[in-house]
Chain A
Amino acid sequence: MTEPTTTSESRAASQSPPSPASKIEHSTPEIDRAIAAMGGLGWRRYKVQMTRTVVIIGLLLAWQVFSGRPGDRFVLVDEFYVSEPTAMVEAIVAWWEQDLLVSSILVTLQVTLLGFAVGALLGMITGFLFGTVEFLGRVMSPIMAALYAIPRLALIPLFLLWFGLGIGSKLALVITVIFFLVYYNTHSGVKDVDQELVDVLKVMQASRWDVLRKVTIPSAMTWIIAGLHISVPYALVGAVTGEMIASNRGMGYLIIRASSQFNTAGVFGGILVLMILALGLAGVVSLLERRLLRWKVKNRE
């Protein structure tokens, strides 16, 4: 009745001593030798990482060498326009020394995370509501589409008027950006739930709440996580845009100030800091994904 598990038998049958380099099951001496000849199982990954490092260092070196003062040796592009890696780092260090770096990062992060959390939560709730209550969904869907069509940046003047120059207007911007992204993903996720699964549960005596908890939410989770994933960078974009337009704090402000002083290195430095922030946030979402979608991760293995 059960499918046989052959692992232990075939292991015993193959006469080779287990090779420490290989973790392949059902291996034979020929296979082990072939793997050893390729340099072991880790070689491919190692090769990719090595090449990647070389490419990055190469690009940075080229940037450093080919930019500079016009007329100098090797210089192809004026540093006024593109700065160079060392100047970029120097600009960041300067902010650090003026106690501007950490505080600016914190301001931007605060708006990003708070706006993201509120926007995502509202988006999820609305998505579940309009997705599961058919009538509401039908009534609201064109209204949501119309609101979504508004370019969010055009709302900034209103937000400044309503919430002032402080954190409020930036939060409002981030929330409106994130809300729709998460709303649409949640809505699609709820709509994507397999009706047969729901029927099977109903026959098992499941209440609406049971269906929501045991099928709809876990099933929609794949979509929601995807929505969160794509919206993280947008939260940062929203926060920085807000700061660039009207603010005296945050990374967006630092960049716009550097730019107004023709400090290209500062602009690039600010961009570098934002890139690192974005990567860090994406990493956090990936961790969340691994936890919430453990079954999916396990299936890929």
Chain B
Amino acid sequence: MSAPVVTPPDSVVRTGGAVSFQGVSKVFMDPAKSSHFVAVRDIDLEIPRGRFVSVVGPSGCGKSTLLNMTAGLFAPTTGQVLYNGTKVGTTVNTEVGYITQADNLLPWRTLRGNVLLALEIRGVPKKEREDRARDAIARVGLTGFEDRFPSQLSGGMRKRAGLARTLVYEPETLLMDEPFGALDAMMRATMQADLLHLWERDQRTVIFVTHDLEEAILLADQVVVFGTKPGRIIHTEDVEFERPRDLHEIRRTPEFTAVWERLWRLIEGEM
């Protein structure tokens, strides 16, 4: 299970974080109706450093719950989530960057202001802050739009802005929750290629939640298929396509179609 070998462009070699789910279940209580709801059950999953893992499954199968527990936004009801060997859940995991379907940009801050946010919070000196923000904005191709407010950017540009806002503080691990769900097909294809390109440069660990099976297979080293009611892992599949990947080419290979067909039947059985 070694990570694919890619030469990093800078001197920085990133290892990413390792995430381990051990017998994890999460139950939500509804105090108003005094009922409870099992979001995920018996999750055992090892995600090694630098790996790109997709989590795919029908909606309401607890995929997002997995990410929230990795970020330490809430604790599992049973079992434990380890991040680099340390238990998370009682405190927020600040080694991760969280990107959701909503771009979550602060509407009262310009693009630059949004990208600077994490660095301000972390108390990075002003000069370094500005440099790193400029760099992150350039990496996602938004140079020249620094002074625009989010509402003055297109949907695709806001997505890139969200990415820059997260990449700027160099989190080891990216948690992505249907990040491209709201984009049109063309924009989504571009963003997928861009994301892979960025990932291949510095090899962070990525947990990528999606309900788009094609996207899951194209991007990831490993696809984790979730079943629903209750949310649980029903299958994991290693994806062996060579890196760097040409997504357009891969889509048309018989190998891709074969994997897609097989996993689709599994998901279909859960809906």
Contact = CB atoms under 8 A, between A and B. Distances in A.
Interface of A: 1-3, 194, 196-197, 199-207, 210, 214-215, 218-219, 221, 293, 295-296, 298-299
B121 A214 contact: yes
Interface stretch (B13-21, B98-106, B216-224, B262-270): B98-106
B117 interface: yes
B106 A203 contact: no
B225 interface: no
Contacts, number: 72
Contact of A299 (B102, B152, B171): B152
A203 B88 CA distance: 12
Contacts of B104: 194, 196-197, 200
A210 B120 CA distance: 9
Chain A contact surface mostly: helix
Interface in B118-140: 118, 120-122, 140
Interface residues of B, number: 35
Contacts of B140: 1
16 contacts: A2-B141, A3-B157, A194-B104, A196-B102, A196-B104, A197-B104, A199-B71, A203-B93, A204-B94, A204-B122, A204-B169, A205-B94, A205-B122, A214-B121, A293-B108, A295-B149
Central interface residue in A1, A207, A299, by most chain B CB within 10 Å? A1
B100 A196 contact: yes
A4 to B, nearest CB: 11
Interface of B: 71, 73, 92-94, 96-98, 100, 102, 104, 106-109, 117-118, 120-122, 140-145, 149, 151-152, 154, 156-157, 169, 171, 194
Given A203-B94, A296-B107, A298-B152, 20 more contacts: A2-B144, A194-B104, A196-B100, A196-B104, A199-B71, A199-B73, A202-B92, A203-B98, A204-B117, A204-B121, A204-B122, A205-B94, A206-B121, A207-B121, A210-B121, A218-B106, A218-B108, A293-B108, A295-B109, A295-B149
B214 to A, nearest CB: 23
B138 to A, nearest CB: 10
Nearest to B143: A2
B60 to A, nearest CB: 18
Contacts of B142: 2
A295 B73 contact: no
Contacts of B169: 204
A192 to B, nearest CB: 13
